[in-house]
Amino acid sequence: MDFELPADLTTITPDELDSLETTAVEAFDQIAESPEGEADLTTMSELAEAIEAIRTERGRRADAAEQIVAQAEELLKRVHAETPAEGEAEGTAEGEAVEVEAVEGEGTEVEAVEAEAEAEPELVTAAATPRRIPLRRTQRQPVVEEGGPLAVITAAADIPGFSAGSHFGDRVELAKAMTAKARTLSNHSDNVPVATFDLGITDWIDSETDAEATEALLAKVADPQSLVAAGEWCSPSEHIYEYLGVEGTDGLLDLPTFGVKRGGVQVPTPLLLPSNLADITFTYTEAIRGADGTKECVAVPCPTWSDVRLEADGICITAGNLTERTNPELIARYITLVGAGHLHKMSGKRITSMVSASTDGGTQPSVGSATSDILSGVSLLATRYRSLYKTSESLVLEAVLPFWAKEAIRADLAARKGVSLLAVSDAEIMSQFSVRNIRPQFVMDWQALANATAWPTSCAYMVYAAGAWAVGSAGTLDLGVVRDSTLNSTNDYTAAWTEEFTLLVNRLPSLKGTVTINVDGITAPEPVA
């Protein structure tokens, strides 16, 4: 593509200058796209210098036009500095400001013209409102609708055919710039800026705006006429049919499960060592032999049986046939939501039964802060369990705590001075229980933090041997979607149906306790003076 830069750029019109730049950029891009090793670097360098010269000339013209605008406004202030006397300027537009119009390609001189006469001309004094003065300038100005905000579209850097900071006159020029920039991009390019929109907002409310000014501004922007002037969308809002969900199935109670074939099970009451071992053993001495020689024996006791029956729990969800056709996302989302809710309901139901049947170990006072309080409380109850039922020290006991206890420990450790414990992991917290041969469960459906603004001041927990509590299951009945004549008569159907048959059995003792806690990072109580 042949290109020749005129010797004197100051003599050509703005349109010719734009056309010249476009031709130069296209010539440069054509050479740049040549196969590797065949690009004419000399010609590319000459074209780059020519493009820079064109853009420099455009910037010079813009600066000259800005200077003329400033000088014209200064002259107008000097000529119309006086304030019109009361009643002398009737018939003129009150507070009318000087308007400056941009006309491309017609020089840069300021030309004063008389304002157009109204239908019935009125006498105006020399101090009346200034006349409109059109200003002819070369810089392209954005076109905006009268009465609307001034939207200025400014070109970004490295846009072929447009200098950085220049203004796009209309959307056509913006589209050309985007097309030109797109031709220079490779595949998988990141977001590349092309233009910046300035909506020309001049009314702001900040910390320095007084109450009276704020009220006036709010009244202005809320004026129905202002709203009409901004235009209307003339279309309804679009619906977003995808639903977001935050519910999960973490923190559910974990218990061993066994199958049940009949309507329930009968389990014997726990058979444990008595607190007084002498009741089930004998001691034989010579004195006893000399007396009657009888060794005291104990008989195997008959068990006491507990009859535990199955219970049915499930969900049943109905939906409309029309909803299924027009908004299936709603039905799917609701089924998922109710399913998660059912799991939490069953977990909470079993925890309530376990707490009710556990032996109360009392409340332990605080020994420092939440970390030591909770660990000490659970450890003491576990040690008491081992002592009561003569378990092995290596036997791992189960502990159930509220889900927030783990976060209370983490927050407490983060508050300790002199140590960096701001990022304590779950594994580190769990290890504190593991060294005590305790397997903790942090459950969601016990001691909820409804509307809490501070950590609780007490924490309840349970301790028991593995297998002490178990769930018996006779399976589930899942019917899925059901359509019947009764529901069809109302244009409805069963969208989801599931029913499970379970029972909860207690085969070994369990203890429950409470400890007072303080989430403050204190490692030990203050010494008593």
Q: Which of 21-25, 81-85, 212-216, 407-411 has the highest mean pLDDT?
A: 407-411
Q: Tell me the C-alpha distance between 136 and 109, whole Å.
A: 6
**Percent over 70 (pLDDT), the chain:** 69
Out of 58-67, 73-82, 92-101, 163-172, the most confident range is 58-67
When pLDDT is averaged across residues 504-518 and rounded to a whole number, the result is 95
> What pLDDT is attached to residue 529?
53
> Residue 272, by phi and psi: left (phi above 0), alpha (psi -120 to 50) or beta?
beta
391-425 confidence digits (pLDDT tens): 998 999 999 999 999 999 999 998 887 677 888 89
Choice between 393 and 190, residue whose per-residue pLDDT is larger:
393
Q: How far apart are CA 335 and CA 316, in angstroms?
A: 9
Whether 112 shows a pLDDT value over 60: the answer reads no
Per-residue pLDDT, 146: 45
> Is residue 120 pLDDT above 90, yes or no?
no
Average pLDDT over residues 118-129: 41
Residue 452 has what pLDDT? 82
Which of the residue ranges 75-79, 259-263, 318-322, 406-410 would you say has the lowest mean pLDDT?
75-79
Say if residues 143 and 101 touch (Cβ distance below 8 Å).
Answer: no
Q: Which amino acid is at 20?
A: L
Question: What pLDDT score does 354 carry?
Answer: 96
Is the pLDDT at 295 greater than 60, yes or no?
A: yes
**How many beta carbons lie within 10 A of that of residue 525, not counting itself?**
12
Which two tokens mark 255? 């218990």
Domains in the chain, CATH or no CATH each:
9-80+98-114+128-203 (no CATH), 257-277+304-516 (3.90.1690)
Q: What are 74's two structure tokens? A: 């200064």
Predicted confidence (pLDDT) at residue 504 exceeds the cutoff of 50 = yes
**Given this model, what pLDDT does residue 290 score?**
54
Backbone angles phi, psi at 405, to 5 degrees: -60, -35
Select the more confidently predicted residue: 32 or 411: 411
- For 307, residues 6+ apart whose C-beta sits below 8 A from its C-beta are 264, 265, 266
pLDDT reading at 185 higher than 70: no
pLDDT recorded at residue 253: 93
Lowest-pLDDT choice from 152-161, 396-405, 465-474: 152-161
Higher pLDDT, 67 or 438: 438
Q: Map residue 454 onto helix, strand or coil.
A: coil
User: What pLDDT was estimated at residue 494?
Assistant: 80
Check whether 388 has a pLDDT greater than 60: yes
Choose the weakest-confidence range: 133-147, 324-338, 462-476.
Answer: 133-147
Tokens of 488: 């069809």
Q: Of the ranges 78-92, 207-221, 244-258, 502-516, which one carries the lowest mean pLDDT score?
A: 78-92
Task: Say whether pLDDT at 464 is over 90.
Answer: yes
Assign 373 a pLDDT band (cuts: 50, 70, 90): very high
Listed residue (416, 434, 327, 330) closest to 375, CA to CA: 434
Task: Answer whether 245's CB lies under 8 Å from 337's CB.
Answer: yes
Six-digit token pair at 175?
């589209």
Residue-wise pLDDT for 327-360, tens only, equals 888 888 888 899 899 999 999 999 999 999 999 9
The answer to which of 57-61, 151-155, 470-474 has the lowest mean pLDDT is: 151-155
Instruction: Answer whether 0.75 is exceeded by the pTM.
Output: no
* Three-point CA angle 296, 301, 304, nearest 5°: 160
Q: Distance between CA atoms of 348 and 350, rounded to whole angstroms?
A: 5
Best-predicted range by mean pLDDT (92-101, 205-214, 417-426, 500-509) = 500-509
One-letter-per-residue 3-state SS of 128-195: CCCCCCCECCCCCCCCCCCCCCCCEEEECCCECCECCCCECCCHHHHHHHHHHHHHCCCCCCCCCCCE
Which of 96-100, 190-194, 290-294, 301-305 has the highest average model confidence (pLDDT)?
301-305
Q: Whole-number mean pLDDT of the chain?
A: 77
Strands 311-320 and 492-506: antiparallel
Least Cα distance to 378 among 175, 514, 525 occurs for 514
Pairing state of beta strands 510-516 and 359-364? parallel
Q: What percent of the chain has pLDDT over 90?
A: 29
Rounded to the nearest angstrom, the gap between the alpha carbon of residue 63 and the centroid of all alpha carbons in its chain is 47
Backbone angles phi, psi at 159, to 5 degrees: -100, 115
**pLDDT tens readout for residues 74-105:** 888 887 765 554 444 444 444 444 444 444 44
Per-residue pLDDT band for 194 (boundaries 50, 70, 90) equals low
Tell me, what's the pLDDT at 247?
Answer: 85
Instruction: Say if strands 492-506 and 469-478 run parallel, antiparallel, or are unpaired.
Output: antiparallel
pLDDT higher at 444 or 292: 444
